[in-house]
């Protein structure tokens, strides 16, 4: 599934500081088309900051991030255009609670003039069906379980027809019995060839679905490789220590 000939995201010497705090010290990696990259690491290691830099929710302090051929660190690049192709899913869903589900899904495509209202609704219904929630179109977020809300959030991101999806601990806020349904939607997306970067603590998911795993600590990539390599036979002491704590 991974197309080694097409780099979707190329990160070189990425640095990010908040005041005096150096959070990302020197991160370089490429994400290829169709690749599922899982990022693991202790709390505070810079995982979310790294992910947020990929669509410039955080502004990098140094280095370059080339997404679909455009360096988003360059001020001249229209970041909103680049973002239209990058879906993002957060730990806390971030749905609009005052809008029903179908309006949550059509808001961005219509406002950003990606399509007509009719087309947006058509697509929204398809995406809801894809995450198994066709019957929830006119419900409000408050009427859904956490797992359903997160599946709606994924469907909403897909309505923009992105070719890259970023996930920041999408199952961390869920009750355990709802984790599986969200991971299943993500597995389906991966199987369909979506390029995905996923910050997660779900080691079982990473082992099964990731093409590559990155272990981050202290603002650096400490170790990366296949799940078998990083999770099954870690080489670095910090990786071993982290895995001993979480597994
Ligand atoms: P992780 O997702 O791995 O837990 P984060 O990327 O959220 O780590 O945070 C890494 C470090 O950066 C933490 O020390 C955090 O407090 C700090 N940090 C994150 N965002 C900001 C911000 N907007 N302002 C100041 N410090 C921040
Ligand atoms: Mg985080």
Check which CATH number belongs to the domain holding 71 and give it: 3.40.50.300
At 114 the pLDDT is 80
Q: Which ligand is nearest to the CA of 216?
A: 1
| Nearest CA owner, ligand 1 atom 1 | 44
Q: Based on the domain organization, do 74 and 114 belong to the same domain?
A: no
Q: Are residues 114 and 212 in the same domain?
A: no
Nearest 5°: the CA angle 144, 39, 157 is 40
Assess whether 3 and 78 both reside in one domain.
yes
Let me know whether 1 and 79 are in one domain: yes
Q: Taking residues 51-65, report their average pLDDT.
A: 97
Q: What's the pLDDT score for residue 112?
A: 87
Token pair listed for 196: 């995905």
Quick one: 240 and 199 in the same domain?
yes
* Bridge partners, residue 70, by sequence: 67
Q: Residue 131: which domain range?
A: 95-161
In this structure, the answer to whether residues 118 and 205 fall within a common structural domain is: no
Residue 198 scores a pLDDT above 90: yes
Nearest ligand 1 atom, CA 219 = 10
Torsion of CA 77, 161, 34, 218, to 10 degrees: 60
- Does residue 90 belong to any structural domain of this protein? no
- Ligand 1 mutation target, pool 15, 21, 220, most atoms within 8 A of CB: 21
Residue 212 domain flag: yes
Minimum-distance ligand 1 atom for the alpha carbon of 168: 2
The ligand 1 atom at the shortest distance from the C-alpha of residue 199 is: 2
144, 155: one domain: yes
Residues 103-138: pLDDT tens digits? Answer: 999 999 999 878 899 999 999 999 999 999 999 999
Q: Are residues 204 and 187 part of one domain?
A: yes
For residue 70, the CA-to-ligand 1 centroid distance in Å is 26
Pocket residues: Cβ below 6 A from ligand 1: 18, 21, 23, 41, 43-49
Q: What is the number of domains present in the chain?
A: 2
Enter the pTM of the model: 0.97
Same domain for 130 and 149, yes or no, is yes
Ligand whose nearest atom lies closest to the CA of 23: 1
């Amino acid at each position: 599934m991974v197309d080694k000939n097409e780099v979707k995201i190329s990160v070189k010497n990425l640095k990010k500081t908040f005041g005096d705090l150096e959070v990302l010290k020197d991160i370089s990696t490429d994400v290829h088309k169709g690749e599922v990259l899982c990022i693991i690491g202790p709390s505070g290691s810079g995982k979310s900051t790294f992910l947020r830099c990929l669509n410039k929710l955080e502004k990098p302090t140094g280095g370059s991030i080339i997404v679909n051929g455009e360096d988003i660190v360059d001020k001249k690049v229209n970041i909103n255009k680049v973002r239209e192709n990058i879906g993002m899913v957060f730990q806390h869903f971030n749905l609009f609670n005052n809008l029903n589900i179908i309006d949550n899904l059509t808001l961005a495509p219509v406002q950003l003039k990606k399509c007509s209202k009719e087309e947006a609704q058509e697509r929204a219904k398809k995406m809801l069906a894809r995450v198994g929630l066709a019957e929830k179109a006119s419900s409000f977020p408050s009427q859904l379980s956490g797992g359903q809300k997160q599946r709606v959030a994924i469907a909403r991101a897909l309505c923009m027809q992105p070719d890259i999806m970023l996930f920041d601990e999408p199952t961390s806020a869920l009750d355990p019995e709802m984790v599986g349904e969200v991971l299943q939607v993500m597995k389906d997306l991966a199987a369909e060839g979506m390029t995905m970067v996923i910050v997660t603590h779900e080691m079982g998911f990473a082992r099964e679905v990731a093409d590559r795993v990155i272990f981050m600590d202290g603002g650096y990539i400490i170790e990366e490789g296949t799940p078998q390599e990083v999770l099954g036979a870690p080489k670095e002491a910090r990786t071993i220590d982290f895995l001993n704590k979480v597994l």
